[in-house]
Amino acid sequence: MKSPKGAAMGPARPACPTCGCAIHAQPRTWEVICESCGEKRWPLAILKPASYVCARCRVTSPEKRAAARAAGRKSAESRRKRAPR
């Protein structure tokens, strides 16, 4: 029996999402923890990252993050004081 035209002759091989070729390995989602802020992140990478700093931490300076945390703590404390009991 003849196979229909255009039918795949074997199992589909994974293709590169960028260029469509079958040479590159497919990126996977890895669960990692940011070394700077300590939050869990899920970056796409071919190999599991040994160390990881999230995009938010790469863009924001440590001083600015510390100031934002301090402002958040101050705001939470003032909300606790105002809350009716």
* Rounded Cα distance, 18 and 52, in Å: 23
Each residue's pLDDT tens digit, 20-33: 777 767 778 888 98
pLDDT band at 72 (very low <50, low <70, confident <90, very high): very high
Rounded to an integer, the average pLDDT of 8-17 is 60
Q: What is the pLDDT of residue 57?
A: 85
Q: Residue type at 39?
A: E
Q: What is the pLDDT of residue 76?
A: 92
Measured CA distances, 6 to 3, 48, 67, 70 (Å): 9, 37, 61, 63
Name the CA dihedral angle for 16, 41, 33, 18, rounded to a multiple of 10 degrees: 10
Q: What are residue 33's DSSP bridge partners?
A: 40
